[in-house]
Amino acid sequence: MEQTPACFCPLCGGDNQCARATTADVAAPCWCFNATVSKHALARVPAEKANKVCLCPRCAAGNGDLGKPADVPFTG
């Protein structure tokens, strides 16, 4: 199985803009801390990547998810 680096979105393969994946600082604040994440997008994340790899802002908002609204607060 192909491994997805931590800086790529597991849904679209784009840059997920994760501050923690791109710096050595594990306490770095990230855009996702205050984001609302689409439950439909979360449901599409492969099980082996869930809670291990961040979505990109576009996929997290549900914009790649057939226009369904973002509706689940992400709590980091």
- Asked whether residue 13 is assigned to any structural domain, the reply reads no
- Asked whether residue 7 is assigned to any structural domain, the reply reads no
Domain with 25, as residue range(s), is 19-73
- Asked whether residue 44 is assigned to any structural domain, the reply reads yes
* Angstrom distances, CA of residue 42 to CA of 38, 49, 50, 51, 59: 6, 11, 8, 10, 9
Do 40 and 62 meet the contact criterion of CB atoms below 8 Å apart? yes
- Asked whether residue 6 is assigned to any structural domain, the reply reads no
Q: How many domains does the chain have?
A: 1
Q: Which residues pair with 36 in a beta bridge?
A: 73
The band of 64, judged by pLDDT with boundaries at 50, 70 and 90, is low
- Asked whether residue 10 is assigned to any structural domain, the reply reads no
Q: pLDDT tens digit string along 19-62?
A: 888 877 778 888 988 899 999 999 999 999 998 889 999 999 99
- Asked whether residue 12 is assigned to any structural domain, the reply reads no
